[in-house]
Amino acid sequence: MNNRRWLIAANPLGRALQASDFRFDEGEAPAPGPGAFLVRVSMLSFDPALKSYMENIAGYAAATEIGGVMLGEGAGEVVASNHPEFPVGARVKGAFGWQEYAVSNGAGVARIAEAVRDEAALGVLGVTGKTAYCGLVEAGRPKPGDVLVVSGAAGATGSIVGQIGKIAGCRVIGIAGGGEKCKRLVDEFGFDAAIDYKNEKARKRLRELAPGGVDVFFDNVGGEILNDVLARLAHGARVVICGAISRYNFDPRDPAQMPEGPRNYFNLVHAHATMQGFILHHYERFHQIAEARLSSWLEQGRLKPAVDVLDGLEAAPQALMRLFTGGNFGKQLVRIRA
Amino acid sequence: MNNRRWLIAANPLGRALQASDFRFDEGEAPAPGPGAFLVRVSMLSFDPALKSYMENIAGYAAATEIGGVMLGEGAGEVVASNHPEFPVGARVKGAFGWQEYAVSNGAGVARIAEAVRDEAALGVLGVTGKTAYCGLVEAGRPKPGDVLVVSGAAGATGSIVGQIGKIAGCRVIGIAGGGEKCKRLVDEFGFDAAIDYKNEKARKRLRELAPGGVDVFFDNVGGEILNDVLARLAHGARVVICGAISRYNFDPRDPAQMPEGPRNYFNLVHAHATMQGFILHHYERFHQIAEARLSSWLEQGRLKPAVDVLDGLEAAPQALMRLFTGGNFGKQLVRIRA
């Protein structure tokens, strides 16, 4: 059985991703040994961390090698099995890599419930949704009436954070790149306002939109946006550092490449505010409740997942690169089998 | 009655303090009206915030004016009184300014207990000690076995923070400027180790002294020291931003003057760490317990106040300027009357 896949062709440390970092390849689909099963992958999920995996520096995942199958989460169906918990026909999600077929022993693999589509399993009910829930609710601790600002608001996590903020009774301001994204955040996703950082002065707009300051800032971006929001903190503000898309293209081991830090960090003192680093796996005890609540909000129509789906395995490198140029709106996925 | 005093002669915003920012003056001592009392000041207390007061930008205190008496806390004795709670002979501390005699209505003034010397009243049992206690204990939440790093360790606050860290069962590493200061921290004040940032590479020394990382960092300095410690955070670390002596000589309203922020802030994510701004008055509910504990540790000899006393009111500008050049060891005071 033929297995089309993408291999890592180069380590992109210290620079932007490029097409030549990936090599398309065809091989024989592996056969599952004792206790293992074979998954036919139907959809791939994309996240900026995938670039870090290729760089072998993040400490998030096992080391990768040039020539190895590109890492990544996906959803699919079990098509051959020697594992009682994952019988043929079961729908599953896990770190199957960028390929049509993957063998697994079940470690880190979860069943997908019948009613749940791949898009939701990989997005709002997956790592993305849990990051949004745990990061906002448990780290950001929003109170009703708070002003919540989300950067990368049109991204996978940001678009959910903003919607959970509305459920929590906050006034929600998104920061995104481009007027079209901002319009959609307000019109389709219920944000109270959105700032187009590419065409507006974020700090000035924050002053207008949140004259009393920002109570919770959920940051996916870093750089000047973080600095701008730090200038506008309300008393007792909570800043959650979830990501820093602006920092993905340098080598953190090389001080000369290192971008500047937030010059306004000392406003944490004036505002008696807290800045907290967030990684999902430190909030494991909340994962179950996060999934249950996200699920119920989804059913009630209070949460609207934003998904951005490209078609065909060939599109995978492009899908990943879009995350760093802001090409996507919402969760970036690639459908590799209808 | 003659009243010698220092007036504000210039606003030092955006630059270092200089002698010409102060003007020595003599006038008539004021007379206390109904409900007021006259204090003969015996000792002045110095703090970097005094420069901010002169700049009228910190939002900590009332606006000052060129030609006004220089602000500052002091200790003294009531020598004339129309206030029943502050009779003649009472020892008091309060914001009396840089002058020999001050009139007060009692607002913000506290009695000094008989057994307590001026040095302790203004230092370890005053704002300095409370800042150290509340900042370390309530914001930093040290656990026994933690590695605590304190910058500005030979300063008024830092020298107490380190000693409270020892009481809390921490391994305490001070960062200070100069070998002599470092030696005193270890030999006289019980620090486990001290890093001389002027002559040693702080990051390398931290790696050697704290191979498992830094659990609590109490920062009085900012700049490269903050950045170096952020590179060495242990999992779950707490960073308390108390001061930033490295940032006192620029105008925060002028982005061009603004020093860089901590480039390593994103390590908060990798370490799942928290960075919190600290201002004492937000911890008012802990002031009483702080003073009681500091008092008892002092009596038991577990806490040794470091004081640096200059003699004569004339020395006041010099005393303040020393804080910004690292000239002092411990709490900077000026004795203006024996």
B273 and A CB contact within 8 Å: yes
Distance, C-alpha B88 to centroid of its chain: 30
More confident residue, B197 or A250: B197
CA distance A226 to chain B (A): 11
Average pLDDT of the segment spanning A150-176: 97
Whole-number Å distance between alpha carbons of A169 and A115: 29
Residues B186 and B235 in one domain: yes
B298-335 in b/e burial notation, b at 16+ Cβ within 10 A? Answer: beeeebebbbbbbeebebbbbbbbbbbebebbbbbbbb
Reply yes or no on whether the pLDDT at B60 is more than 70: no
Instruction: Give me chain B's average pLDDT, please.
Output: 94
| R_g of chain B computed on alpha carbons | 20
* Pairing state between β A101-104 and B233-241: unpaired
**CATH number of the domain to which A113 belongs:** 3.90.180.10
Residues A143 and A285 in one domain: yes
Question: Do B164 and B190 contact (CB within 8 A), yes or no?
Answer: no
Average pLDDT of the segment spanning A105-129: 95
Task: Count chain A–chain B contacts defined by CB atoms under 8 A.
Answer: 97
The label of the residue with tokens 């020393």 reads B322
Question: Do A197 and A178 contact (CB within 8 A), yes or no?
Answer: no
Average pLDDT of the segment spanning A49-61: 79
Residues A287 and A322 in one domain: no
Average pLDDT of the segment spanning B187-215: 97
**CATH number of the domain to which B168 belongs:** 3.40.50.720
Segment (H or E) for A5: strand A2-8
CB neighbours (10 Å) of residue A107?
7
Single-letter amino acid code for the residue at A338 = A
B202 and A CB contact within 8 Å: no
For residue A308, give Cα distances in angstroms to A151, A161, B32.
18, 17, 75
Q: Which of B268, B270, B278 sits opposite A275 (nearest CB)?
A: B268
Q: What is the ipTM of this complex?
A: 0.79
Question: Which one, of B276, B63, B268, B255, lies nearest residue A271 by Cα?
Answer: B276
The conformation of residue A140, written as its DSSP 8-state character, comes to I
Residues A116 and A168 in one domain: no
Residues A114 and A145 in one domain: no
Note every long-range contact of A199-208, with CB atoms under 8 Å and residues 24 or more positions apart, other chains counting: A202/A175, A202/A228, A202/A229, A203/A228, A203/A231, A203/A232, A206/A149, A206/A173, A206/A232, A207/A232
Question: Do B223 and B208 contact (CB within 8 A), yes or no?
Answer: no
For residue B80, give Cα distances in angstroms to B36, B54, B112.
9, 30, 17
User: Does residue A204 sit in helix, strand or coil?
Assistant: helix
Interchain CB distance below 8 Å, A277 and B260: no
Which residues is A333 bridged to in the sheet?
Answer: A45, A309
Interchain CB distance below 8 Å, A261 and B222: no
The pTM for the full model equals: 0.86
Of all residues in chain B, what percent are helix, strand and coil, respectively (each to 5)? 35, 25, 40
A141 and B CB contact within 8 Å: no
- pLDDT at res. A58: 56
Which residues is B193 bridged to in the sheet?
Answer: B173
Where residue A141 falls among pLDDT bands split at 50, 70, 90?
A: very high
- pLDDT at res. A15: 92
Where residue B9 falls among pLDDT bands split at 50, 70, 90?
A: very high
Q: Which of A243, A263, A272 sits opposite B260 (nearest CB)?
A: A263
A288 and B CB contact within 8 Å: no
Interchain CB distance below 8 Å, A269 and B242: yes
Question: Which one, of B42, B48, B14, B13, lies nearest residue B327 by Cα?
Answer: B48
For residue B54, give Cα distances in angstroms to A106, B11, B14, B195, B248.
66, 6, 12, 33, 12
| A8-28 residue pLDDT tens | 999 999 899 999 999 999 999
Interchain CB distance below 8 Å, B261 and A258: no
Reply yes or no on whether the pLDDT at A304 is more than 60: yes
Question: Do B145 and B170 contact (CB within 8 A), yes or no?
Answer: yes
| A247 dihedral zone (left: phi>0; alpha: psi -120 to 50; beta) | alpha
How many CA atoms are closer than 13 Å to the CA of A292, on its beta-carbon side? Answer: 5
- pLDDT at res. A59: 59
- pLDDT at res. B235: 94
- pLDDT at res. B245: 84
Residues B100 and B139 in one domain: no
The conformation of residue B259, written as its DSSP 8-state character, comes to P
Residues A144 and A272 in one domain: yes
| B255-280 residue pLDDT tens | 777 788 999 999 999 999 999 999 99
Interchain CB distance below 8 Å, B268 and A59: no
- In SS3 terms, B17-77 reads as CCHHHEEEEEEECCCCCCCCEEEEEEEEECCCHHHHHHHCCCCCCCCCCCCCECCCCEEEE
- pLDDT at res. A60: 58
CA distance A61 to chain B (A): 13
Q: Which of B247, B272, B277 sits opposite A271 (nearest CB)?
A: B277
User: Does residue A31 sit in helix, strand or coil?
Assistant: coil
Pick the residue from chain A with its C-alpha nearest to B235: A282
- pLDDT at res. B61: 62
Whole-number Å distance between alpha carbons of B30 and A16: 70
Q: Which of A243, A247, A269 sits opposite B278 (nearest CB)?
A: A269
Whole-number Å distance between alpha carbons of B150 and B231: 15
User: Does residue A136 sit in helix, strand or coil?
Assistant: helix
A250 and B CB contact within 8 Å: no
Q: Which of A251, A265, A280 to mutate to test the interface with B (most CBs of B within 10 A)?
A: A265
The conformation of residue A17, written as its DSSP 8-state character, comes to -
Average pLDDT of the segment spanning B43-69: 85
Residues B114 and B167 in one domain: no
Single-letter amino acid code for the residue at B81 = S
Single-letter amino acid code for the residue at A114 = E
Residues A150 and A175 in one domain: yes
Q: Which of A241, A263, A277 sits opposite B261 (nearest CB)?
A: A263
B266 and A CB contact within 8 Å: yes
Average pLDDT of the segment spanning B91-108: 96
A337 and B CB contact within 8 Å: no
Contacts of B62 (CB under 8 A, 6+ apart): none
Question: Do A104 and A36 contact (CB within 8 A), yes or no?
Answer: yes
Question: Which one, of B21, B13, B104, B3, lies nearest residue B67 by Cα?
Answer: B21
B213 and A CB contact within 8 Å: no
List helix spans (H) across chain B: 49-55, 118-122, 127-133, 156-167, 179-187, 202-209, 223-230, 267-270, 287-299, 316-325
- pLDDT at res. A259: 84
Question: Do A245 and A221 contact (CB within 8 A), yes or no?
Answer: yes
Segment (H or E) for A101: strand A101-104
- pLDDT at res. B39: 98
| B108-145 residue pLDDT tens | 999 999 999 999 999 999 999 999 999 999 999 999 99
Residues A83 and A182 in one domain: no
Average pLDDT of the segment spanning A75-88: 97
Taking the alpha carbons of B231, B232, B236, B237 in that order, is the dihedral positive or negative?
A: negative
Residues B280 and B313 in one domain: no
List helix spans (H) across chain A: 49-55, 118-122, 127-133, 156-167, 179-187, 202-209, 223-230, 267-270, 287-299, 316-325
Average pLDDT of the segment spanning B187-216: 97
- pLDDT at res. B59: 59
Q: In terms of residue numbers, what domain contains B236?
A: 127-299
| A181-227 residue pLDDT tens | 999 999 999 999 999 999 999 999 999 999 999 999 999 999 999 99
Instruction: Give me chain A's average pLDDT, please.
Output: 94
Residues A68 and A138 in one domain: no
Interchain CB distance below 8 Å, B275 and A268: yes
Of all residues in chain A, what percent are helix, strand and coil, respectively (each to 5)? 35, 25, 40
The conformation of residue A20, written as its DSSP 8-state character, comes to G
Reply yes or no on whether the pLDDT at B58 is more than 60: no
| B149-171 residue pLDDT tens | 999 999 999 999 999 999 999 99
| B299-315 residue pLDDT tens | 999 999 999 999 999 99
Q: Which residues of A touch B238 (CB under 8 A)?
A: none
Question: Do B4 and B26 contact (CB within 8 A), yes or no?
Answer: yes
Question: Do A241 and A181 contact (CB within 8 A), yes or no?
Answer: no
Question: Which one, of B332, B201, B213, lies nearest residue B272 by Cα?
Answer: B213
Q: Which of A242-251, A300-309, B46-55 has the lowest mean pLDDT?
A: A242-251
Domain count of chain A?
2
Average pLDDT of the segment spanning B247-257: 77
Which residues is B75 bridged to in the sheet?
Answer: B43, B93
Average pLDDT of the segment spanning A254-259: 78
CB neighbours (10 Å) of residue A295?
18
